[in-house]
Amino acid sequence: MKDETSALAETRSRDTLGAIGCSKVVAGMWRVREWNMSAAALNRYVQESMALGVTTFDHADIYGGGEVEALFGDALAQTPSLRGKMQIVSKAGIRPRGSSAGAVGVKHYDTSRVYLQAAVERSLQRLKTDYLDLFLIHRPDHLANNDEIADAAESLIQQGKIRAFGVSNFTPRQFDSLRAKIALATNQIEFSPFELQALDDDVFTALSAAAVSPMIWSALGGGRLFSETDELAVRLRQELTTLAEKYNAPSWISIAYAWIFTLPCAPYVLVGSRRVESLQQALDGLGVRLNREDWYAILEAARGKPVP
């Protein structure tokens, strides 16, 4: 019988995102406009991230109304040779008022063939690249036609505009319904000790069954884990700090990431920080393997009650 470590390693080898070269820690670019970096400074950030092993960069067409992709494209243009060594992810399908795709009166979702194909073209222009390594539907669309979505994605893949296709924020049923029409590389979802719905709704179970790796956003609760006045955050930090000492980890933050990396669905984690040190803390979490009791101790702290 295989021991638990071997079984976990085998599960992690079924790695859909690894197949296109994605790094386990992904640099989230959604706040780039707030960083107020010059193209040269952003270029340095990208190179420093890649030197750590963080080679995947996450975007969406609505981040900064398209400006985030444009800023990244300008930074990338300073060192074009970086493009072949990185993976660029972008998302589309949300049409807010005053979006880069043209003014709309009511915020809505659009996953029509015409819109998705045009969204990719716009992202490529802003990013100054010929292809996306991964293209995701940003949110489920109540008016979605899965056959149309699949045809659009297949066409984009055949044209070389995208290498892989996936979704973001889909429920297990929505994911399975679209996956019946086209291969999906990931489901980018929110998960943290503050947001446990993916456990309760069997999102991870469904992804494991499909041998698809999730990509986790807001892993630290959007910064809530650092709060000094939030009772839950304080309780969690106490548990994480205790475990950091036990595992000789560099920081309690690395234990927070280790808690996510321990999941058997082989997750990838987004880190949206201008500090490369924050990327390193997530990478350090990859080197910690929590035992079951300690993993459940964090879950108990998150829920504020014993596991039923």
- Over residues 227-268, the pLDDT tens digits come to 999 999 999 999 999 999 999 999 999 999 999 999 999 999
Residue 159: is its pLDDT beyond 90? yes
* Residues near 165 by beta carbon (within 8 Å), at least 6 away in sequence: 134, 135, 136, 153, 156, 157, 182, 183, 184, 185
Q: Does residue 299 belong to any structural domain of this protein? A: no
Residue 156: is its pLDDT beyond 50? yes
pLDDT score of 105: 82
Q: Does residue 257 belong to any structural domain of this protein? A: no
pLDDT score of 218: 97
CB 28 within 8 A of CB 217: yes
CB 95 within 8 A of CB 111: no
Q: What is the mean pLDDT of residues 170-176?
A: 97
- Over residues 43-73, the pLDDT tens digits come to 999 999 999 999 999 999 999 999 999 999 9
- Over residues 174-196, the pLDDT tens digits come to 999 999 999 999 999 999 999 99
Q: Tell me what the pLDDT averaged over the chain comes to.
A: 94
pLDDT score of 130: 98
Confidence tier at 103 by pLDDT (50, 70, 90): low
CB 97 within 8 A of CB 150: no
pLDDT score of 12: 41
Residue 11: is its pLDDT beyond 70? no
Give me the helices (H) in 101-213, please. Answer: 113-127, 146-158, 172-179, 197-200, 203-209
Phi-psi region of 71 (alpha: psi -120 to 50; beta: other; left: phi over 0): alpha
Q: How far apart are CA 48 and CA 51, in angstroms?
A: 5
pLDDT score of 5: 39
pLDDT score of 9: 39
3-state helix, strand, coil in the chain (%, to 5): 50, 15, 35
| Containing structural domain, residue 77 | 11-228+267-273
Q: Which of 45, 63, 257, 268 is catalytic?
A: 63
Q: Does residue 2 belong to any structural domain of this protein? A: no
Q: What is the mean pLDDT of residues 265-292?
A: 97
Residue 7: is its pLDDT beyond 50? no
- Over residues 76-85, the pLDDT tens digits come to 999 999 999 9
pLDDT score of 16: 86
Clarify whether 115 is annotated catalytic: no
Number of folded domains in the chain?
Answer: 1
CB 162 within 8 A of CB 127: no
Residue 139: is its pLDDT beyond 90? yes
pLDDT score of 8: 40
pLDDT score of 3: 43
For residue 174, give the CATH number of its domain. 3.20.20.100
pLDDT score of 99: 58
